[in-house]
Amino acid sequence: MGIGQTLRRTVLLTCLVAVGCAPSGSRIADSASGTSGGSRWEFNEVPGPDADFRPHLLSGCQRDADVPMSVERYLGLSSEFFRDGSGSDGMIELEMGLAGGLRHPLMLLTLGQQYLMAGQGDPALLPVEGPAADVGDWPRNQKRLLGRARELLLECLEKRPNDAAVDYLLADVARAEEKFDEAAEWVWRGEQKCTGGRSFRILKGYQLLYDYPPKYLGGVGPEYPAAALEAAITGDVVLDLLLDPRGSVRQAVVVESPSPDLTQAAENSLEQGVFEAARIGKYPIWSWLRVRTAFHLEGS
């Protein structure tokens, strides 16, 4: 009588991130490549570190270039005024910088976000001068503030076309204008682009956002391969999974495994799992998630 008949098998699927699990059946995305703005990503990514997860900036994404000191001065002033509770004064400073010809994308992003927040009802960001100054009537103010936010963010998008932060903020503008179909389109665009870097740090700083790790929400348990069962091969398969902002697995890297058969069984199981993407606040980002699938035989 073979091992498969004499020993009861148990297969445990666990995540190193503490999450709840719920069954589901969605399929993993193609792990070889993906799309961003119609172009094809090359997934030659570096595996995650020895930790549960980490945010990830795709190797195909442009790194932040050095920001000129003149621009840093305006960004610093804006941040200082905002922290002191007089953010509208910082907005005036940024408008002066733009008027003087410093139309750097990070200045556009910062100011556009602040006009958005003002249009969402933040009284500390209601400017008393400038292109969207207070006119004493909220419906008119809101329309002007959101219009200015949209104008600045669209200009920023021309300079940073592959930056998801810009699309996510434009989605927020559309929501505030109750244009919900347009908002969904902006989110869809952003989910295909680069996340992380300086632009997301700006979002995080002004909106006081927290980091949320990705989650494995559950799926079908793995099948113990017949050959491994007969040979009584046991152990843990540890995979680093690259998750896109939609929660789809785009790459799997083997960290450790007792056998190729068990590796394949773990991957097949995860293909039918559901994942929640990592987020900065409500904004989904690329990330690595480490997942452990444990194959054990009772009595072994």
Please report whether residue 204 resides in a domain. no
pTM of the prediction? 0.84
Please report whether residue 202 resides in a domain. no
Least confident of 11-25, 35-49, 182-196, 228-242: 11-25
Please report whether residue 65 resides in a domain. no
Residues 238 and 257 in one domain: yes
Burial class (CB in 10 A: 0-12, 13-18, 19+), 66: exposed
The enclosing domain of 250 has a CATH number of 3.30.2420.10
Residues in the chain: 300
Residues 109 and 47 in one domain: no
Query: In this predicted structure, what is the pLDDT of residue 300?
Result: 56
What per-residue string of b and e applies to 119-150 under the rule 16 or more CB within 10 Å gives b?
bbeeeebbbeebebebeeeeeebbebbbbbbb
Q: Cα–Cα distance between 266 and 293 in angstroms, integer?
A: 6
- CA torsion through residues 176, 125, 149, 66, sign: negative
**Cα distances (angstroms) measured from residue 82 to each of 32, 151, 152, 160:** 44, 21, 19, 24
Cα dihedral value 202, 119, 193, 67, nearest 10: -30
Among 193, 224, 256, the domain-final residue is: 193
Three-point CA angle 170, 34, 55, nearest 5°:
65
**Cα distances (angstroms) measured from residue 258 to each of 139, 169, 291, 292:** 64, 46, 15, 12
Contacts by residues 24-28 (CB-CB < 8 Å, ≥ 24 positions apart): 24/217, 24/218, 24/219, 24/272, 24/273, 24/274, 25/219, 25/220, 25/272, 26/272, 26/273, 26/274, 27/271, 27/272, 28/248, 28/249, 28/270, 28/271, 28/273
- Residue 283 · residue 168 · CB < 8 Å: yes
Query: In this predicted structure, what is the pLDDT of residue 36?
Result: 38
Residues 75 and 48 in one domain: no
Mean pLDDT of 98-107: 98
**Cα distances (angstroms) measured from residue 205 to each of 175, 199, 208:** 21, 10, 5
Output the six-digit token pair for 133.
């100054």
Residues 133 and 189 in one domain: yes
pLDDT band at 30 (very low <50, low <70, confident <90, very high): very low
pLDDT digits (tens, 9 = 90+) for 192-246: 999 999 999 999 999 999 999 999 999 888 999 999 999 999 999 999 999 999 9
Please state the domain count of the chain: 2
Please report whether residue 55 resides in a domain. yes
Residues 98 and 185 in one domain: yes
- Residue 183 · residue 129 · CB < 8 Å: no
Query: In this predicted structure, what is the pLDDT of residue 26?
Result: 29
The enclosing domain of 109 has a CATH number of 1.25.40.10
Query: In this predicted structure, what is the pLDDT of residue 51?
Result: 85
Please report whether residue 185 resides in a domain. yes
Q: Cα–Cα distance between 183 and 192 in angstroms, integer?
A: 15
Domain that holds residue 225: 3-60+212-297
Please report whether residue 186 resides in a domain. yes
Residues 143 and 181 in one domain: yes
- DSSP H stretches of helix in 100-213: 105-119, 138-159, 164-176, 180-191, 197-207
Output the six-digit token pair for 88.
């509208």
Q: Cα–Cα distance between 220 and 273 in angstroms, integer?
A: 7
Residues 76 and 41 in one domain: no
Among 193, 224, 259, the domain-final residue is: 193
Q: Cα–Cα distance between 193 and 241 in angstroms, integer?
A: 18
Residues 150 and 103 in one domain: yes
Residues 231 and 188 in one domain: no
Please report whether residue 199 resides in a domain. no
Contacts of 100 (CB under 8 A, 6+ apart): none
Residues 96 and 184 in one domain: yes
Residues 181 and 80 in one domain: yes
Among 164, 193, 222, the domain-final residue is: 193
- Residue 67 · residue 75 · CB < 8 Å: yes
Q: Cα–Cα distance between 145 and 285 in angstroms, integer?
A: 27
Residues 137 and 115 in one domain: yes
pLDDT digits (tens, 9 = 90+) for 58-85: 988 888 889 999 999 999 999 999 999 9
